[in-house]
A and B are shown apart, each in its own frame.
Chain A
């Protein structure tokens, strides 16, 4: 997996040309959901005079969107949506449908010379394009479903981006019937946009002109008479203007006058409707100062104005169209529909980048808002001192090579301009440079920094480009905020030069503490025309202070955390509690039978089925008791259910039925009374990496009981491991583990000791010792349970017996009782036994009975000892070859379990 750093700057320019439509591109949003009303669209071509009073007409291609409303078509406000330069009414279709679904009558149109509309491009000529909009308003004034303020005066708002934003402003200025507007990324003064501070914005101008002159994609130029292929759809007047200034590389008064007349600035004093201004931070065509001029003029007219600095502009950037469309809708809800609850947003909002989304590399935008629009000079101003000697640099002949800041349409070369990775390019000898010391604290510049410079030139004039770089502490990386550059033409410098105030690009940019600011003044920029002749400029700081506007009142709102960030864990917690709680409650049920308090073990009706065989029983209806001081043998063949019983006794397995009480306390998982039980069941269980001693010590510490109660040394004596105690258990033999495990079971001298097959793997002397240990353990009033399938073991150590087979109890009681009283010996003879000899034996004194069996004569002694019997037999002349004690229990055992 690779980290993908943000790189999805949307190419605003792509395809359509320079006046790209940023607001309104490609969002359907949630507005057109399934339950949205059906929107009907009607396309019409409206015929309009080419100019007021003209005989000739143009056809304006329109689309009209109205939703079928539930209230039977009550009058609704109307919205006109304008498109960008090079676009058509199709660009705004989705926004139109969304607005229509929200209850507006929406009319979109292709401006003259664009889309399917005929006519020539007049750059929003008041007599042409603006007049067209008035006629569209006329048309709306005749619609029954459109709310009317008066006869022929519909309630109407206009929104649009770029070219369409300008027409919104212009229409509001020229036509009093317009009630609210929302212009986006547009110009206030077209002359100022194309000739900022008297410098020709050559590259942008060229792109615009080409876009308008070229045939629309997939279409042809109108075959009207007198169309000059070099001018395309432009009016002759505009075509001539462009050709003139492009050759001159500079404006002329005539051109400026024409552009001024077609700009919203021309009707500045007549735009007084509520206006939502959306301007892009990454916009070298219509930079933020156009929005500023707009806001200032409209506010002077008393119009409600809100300003937003979007992230994206004509240079590209990340589109926020979904959010801005919502805001535009809210704006119209408030000012057209007069819905007081509509949230029109803060008076000033600026989009900032807070970082990026680590899961997909998307850039994260957040809005910072303020209670007032701070303007270009900010709410407050700070200063930072620059240093640098006066520097002289040249304007190269022909203006090439040119420094690079923004290349229009390439979105700042596709780089991540906001956080500054892409250095702009300045050519040596063509710029002057002034650095600040490292900033002592982080400074966010919101507005347009200014600096006073003394400029002189050997040509009496200078064309300069100002940039304010952010220089990282390592000195290596310098970044140009928003990739913007400010041009300035200074004339009449005279021999001494002149002091000028240089207004740098308007940005919203955080300079980190420790970073430097670097002012670069260069003689060229790729976007602009600079003088063709060689020139030598000298630039010096007239005032060391660089003025920095800031807006501390504009704060970034925390990105809202979705509800599930809290909801999900809380929900999971609730489910978790529900999952665990019933078990806890069941555990709390403890039963106690005081009557059995003195009984080490009482088992009643114990039943356990095998986990996967509900019809097969591991233990079935088992009941027995063990009293204090007993050594109980639990005897049975393999599979008799002994171990299962012992596991239930240890609380490891839960019985299906019946109960086990130890000293009167019912045993379940983890019952405290188990602390009085020591157990060794089915082999040892140790941590192989720890020594035998550490295992026992840690086991005891795990019980949480006082260390002194452990009797560790006594237990270790039983284990008899010697120096091996210090070795890891994994090195132990089977017998050593066995002994250690039995020692562990005896830790703390439990009242009930359970040993499962304790002598397995022990050698004979150890077996004998173990038997002694068990017997002695019980002598102290404690109780021992020994399970075994070996008869000898239980026979020699146990006082009582429980015999199990097939999960059932076969017999229980004292050993003698089960086996029967009296001693029996097996007498073998050298010759086959005869009936006579048998009779003789039976007649011997002290003999109870004698039975002939295959292996010999079974003699039950009744008073006589074996030695007496042998003497008597020899005396009677019977050839005795052997006398041995009979394996009484084995017989009993086999009989009891009905076996072989």
Chain B
């Protein structure tokens, strides 16, 4: 380390600037940087692989064990009818639990893992403003979650098309949709699932600001989601169940009805969004003045 007088950058105008030259709060922790920081983590790759490999596994299972013949569910019945059908079935199989995991993982891990690595204090002292840190982390975690969610049906669509051919989507309620429109409907279903998962994301995110243990945040979010499903099974709660986010876990199937049934998706989305807003606000509020002792 050598420092000579020539190295010293003393600004000519203000010898005592309020910040280092070039420092602008809202340019700190750019989304791209945060994405690169998270991308090469092993858990990112594992989650990606898991979701991409599930459809081939399901296809193999169908090939070995025979296509499902379930009189209860017309959707499962038609799993091997076409690529879009296979994708819909894979979504159906994973929407209940599997897709919750990447969301809880990516969002629950945000702040807590930085705290665990002790890198949080250096980011905050850089300084990355706290709101900025939360925003960047939340957006990147949501983007990762979205990509993870897209990965599964995309892989399923590919695998299904190879295995069963491209064709129309046989709807669970009867009738069919041409392949192109089916793909759009699947995209809509996926969007609905994503909005429905916002509550899990926000819950995990909030927990992540509260605890320094990433697994605590992830597990807490998944646990509460399961609790919601259990509560929703108590029919005695009647209309109150509409306020349980898990009540709308399968509202996205409305996108696979003959005419898209918006009502259920809108309600589910509204409930999820409302909780998500509150939880994210709690996260910001808590983190804004939190003493960082990690």
A pairs with B: yes
Interface residues of A (CB under 8 A from B): 1-5, 354-359, 364, 416, 419-421, 472-474, 477, 479, 510, 512, 514-515, 558-559, 561-562, 564-566, 568-569, 571-573, 575-577, 579-580, 583-584, 587, 592, 597-598, 611, 647, 650-654, 663-665, 669-677, 679, 681-690, 698-699, 701-706, 709, 714-715, 717-718, 744, 746, 748-751, 773, 776-777, 779-782
* 9-residue interface stretch from B60-68, B140-148, B154-162, B281-289: B281-289
| Nearest CB on A from B78, distance (A) | 10
Interface residues of B (CB under 8 A from A): 1-5, 7-9, 15-25, 27-30, 33-34, 36-37, 40-42, 72-75, 81, 92, 96, 117-132, 168, 170, 172-176, 178, 229, 241, 247-254, 257-259, 261-264, 266-267, 270-271, 273-275, 277-278, 280-282, 284-285, 288-289, 291-293
Given A358-B250, A670-B129, A704-B30, 13 extra CB contacts under 8 A? A354-B261, A419-B174, A569-B277, A583-B285, A652-B292, A652-B293, A654-B291, A685-B118, A687-B37, A702-B126, A704-B25, A780-B4, A780-B8
- B281 and A580 contacting across the interface, CB-CB below 8 Å: yes
Known: A572-B275, A669-B124, A718-B1. A701 touches B33 (CB 8 A): yes
Q: Select which of A364, A653, A702 is within 8 A of B261 by beta carbon.
A: A364
| Nearest CB on B from A659, distance (A) | 16
| Cα A473 to Cα B259 with chains together (Å) | 18
| Cα A686 to Cα B113 with chains together (Å) | 11
Query: Which chain A residue lies CB-closest to B6?
Result: A780
Most chain B beta carbons < 10 A, residue from A580, A670, A688: A670
Most chain B beta carbons < 10 A, residue from A472, A611, A665, A704: A704
| Nearest CB on B from A413, distance (A) | 14
For A562, the chain B residues whose CB sits under 8 A away are: 267
For A677, the chain B residues whose CB sits under 8 A away are: 125
| Nearest CB on B from A590, distance (A) | 9
For B262, the chain A residues whose CB sits under 8 A away are: 558-559, 561
- B5 and A780 contacting across the interface, CB-CB below 8 Å: yes
Known: A577-B281, A583-B288, A744-B122. A2 touches B72 (CB 8 A): yes
| Cα A654 to Cα B174 with chains together (Å) | 62
- A650 and B20 contacting across the interface, CB-CB below 8 Å: no
- A776 and B281 contacting across the interface, CB-CB below 8 Å: no
Q: Select which of B17, B29, B130, B264 is within 8 A of A359 by beta carbon.
A: B264
| Cα A588 to Cα B66 with chains together (Å) | 64
Known: A354-B257, A562-B267, A685-B119. A702 touches B128 (CB 8 A): yes
Query: Which chain B residue lies CB-closest to A576?
Result: B281
- A689 and B41 contacting across the interface, CB-CB below 8 Å: yes
- B259 and A354 contacting across the interface, CB-CB below 8 Å: yes
- A669 and B288 contacting across the interface, CB-CB below 8 Å: yes
- A652 and B176 contacting across the interface, CB-CB below 8 Å: no
For A575, the chain B residues whose CB sits under 8 A away are: 277-278, 281
| Nearest CB on B from A644, distance (A) | 9
- A706 and B22 contacting across the interface, CB-CB below 8 Å: yes
| Cα A706 to Cα B81 with chains together (Å) | 56
- A705 and B23 contacting across the interface, CB-CB below 8 Å: yes
- A675 and B8 contacting across the interface, CB-CB below 8 Å: no
- B127 and A714 contacting across the interface, CB-CB below 8 Å: no
- A672 and B19 contacting across the interface, CB-CB below 8 Å: yes
- B40 and A689 contacting across the interface, CB-CB below 8 Å: yes
For B281, the chain A residues whose CB sits under 8 A away are: 575-577, 579-580
Q: Select which of B2, B5, B173, B259 is within 8 A of A714 by beta carbon.
A: B2
| Nearest CB on B from A586, distance (A) | 8
| Nearest CB on B from A273, distance (A) | 38
- B1 and A579 contacting across the interface, CB-CB below 8 Å: no
Q: Select which of B20, B127, B131 is within 8 A of A748 by beta carbon.
A: B20
- A579 and B292 contacting across the interface, CB-CB below 8 Å: no
| Cα A673 to Cα B17 with chains together (Å) | 8
- A705 and B173 contacting across the interface, CB-CB below 8 Å: no
For B293, the chain A residues whose CB sits under 8 A away are: 647, 652-653
- B258 and A569 contacting across the interface, CB-CB below 8 Å: no
| Nearest CB on A from B47, distance (A) | 14
Query: Which chain A residue lies CB-closest to B241?
Result: A359
For B118, the chain A residues whose CB sits under 8 A away are: 682-686
Q: Select which of A1, A584, A777 is within 8 A of B3 by beta carbon.
A: A777
For A512, the chain B residues whose CB sits under 8 A away are: 175-176, 258
Q: 10 closest pairs, A vs B, by CB?
A: A685-B118, A576-B281, A704-B27, A355-B257, A572-B274, A672-B19, A597-B16, A685-B119, A670-B129, A675-B20
Known: A572-B277, A652-B291, A675-B19. A473 touches B176 (CB 8 A): yes
| Nearest CB on A from B193, distance (A) | 12
Q: Select which of A702, A705, A780 is within 8 A of B20 by beta carbon.
A: A705
For A566, the chain B residues whose CB sits under 8 A away are: 270
Known: A572-B275, A685-B118. A776 touches B37 (CB 8 A): no
- B42 and A689 contacting across the interface, CB-CB below 8 Å: yes
Known: A568-B270, A698-B37. A687 touches B117 (CB 8 A): yes
Q: Select which of A355, A679, A686, A773 is within 8 A of B259 by beta carbon.
A: A355
| Nearest CB on B from A715, distance (A) | 8
8 residue pairs A–B, Cβ–Cβ below 8 Å: A419-B174, A474-B81, A689-B40, A704-B27, A705-B21, A773-B1, A779-B3, A780-B8
| Nearest CB on B from A656, distance (A) | 11
Most chain A beta carbons < 10 A, residue from B40, B117, B175, B288: B175
- B253 and A559 contacting across the interface, CB-CB below 8 Å: no
Known: A364-B261, A780-B8. A569 touches B126 (CB 8 A): no
- A653 and B292 contacting across the interface, CB-CB below 8 Å: yes
- A746 and B28 contacting across the interface, CB-CB below 8 Å: no
| Cα A681 to Cα B41 with chains together (Å) | 25
For A717, the chain B residues whose CB sits under 8 A away are: 1
Query: Which chain A residue lies CB-closest to B41?
Result: A689
Q: Select which of A419, A592, A751 is within 8 A of B258 by beta carbon.
A: A419
Known: A669-B289, A689-B40. A568 touches B274 (CB 8 A): yes
For A421, the chain B residues whose CB sits under 8 A away are: 74, 174
- A675 and B273 contacting across the interface, CB-CB below 8 Å: no
Query: Which chain A residue lies CB-closest to B96?
Result: A1
Known: A5-B74, A472-B176, A679-B125. A559 touches B263 (CB 8 A): yes
Query: Which chain B residue lies CB-closest to A559?
Result: B263
Known: A354-B257, A701-B30. A650 touches B18 (CB 8 A): no
- B258 and A355 contacting across the interface, CB-CB below 8 Å: yes
- A688 and B20 contacting across the interface, CB-CB below 8 Å: no
Known: A420-B174, A559-B263, A709-B21. A358 touches B74 (CB 8 A): no
| Nearest CB on A from B65, distance (A) | 18
Known: A704-B29, A705-B20. A580 touches B284 (CB 8 A): yes
Known: A4-B72, A686-B119. A672 touches B23 (CB 8 A): yes
| Cα A558 to Cα B263 with chains together (Å) | 9
For A664, the chain B residues whose CB sits under 8 A away are: 16
- B22 and A561 contacting across the interface, CB-CB below 8 Å: no
- B28 and A703 contacting across the interface, CB-CB below 8 Å: yes
| Nearest CB on A from B187, distance (A) | 18
- A651 and B125 contacting across the interface, CB-CB below 8 Å: yes
Known: A652-B292, A669-B130. A571 touches B274 (CB 8 A): yes
| Nearest CB on A from B160, distance (A) | 16
Known: A5-B74, A706-B22, A777-B3. A358 touches B264 (CB 8 A): yes
- B172 and A5 contacting across the interface, CB-CB below 8 Å: yes
For A472, the chain B residues whose CB sits under 8 A away are: 175-176
Q: Select which of B1, B36, B122, B126 is within 8 A of A675 by beta carbon.
A: B126
- A3 and B261 contacting across the interface, CB-CB below 8 Å: no
- B25 and A672 contacting across the interface, CB-CB below 8 Å: yes
Q: Select which of B19, B27, B81 is within 8 A of A676 by beta carbon.
A: B19
Known: A514-B176, A673-B19, A685-B120. A611 touches B254 (CB 8 A): no
- A572 and B128 contacting across the interface, CB-CB below 8 Å: no
For A584, the chain B residues whose CB sits under 8 A away are: 131, 288
| Cα A584 to Cα B132 with chains together (Å) | 12
| Nearest CB on A from B27, distance (A) | 3
| Nearest CB on A from B189, distance (A) | 11
- A652 and B33 contacting across the interface, CB-CB below 8 Å: no
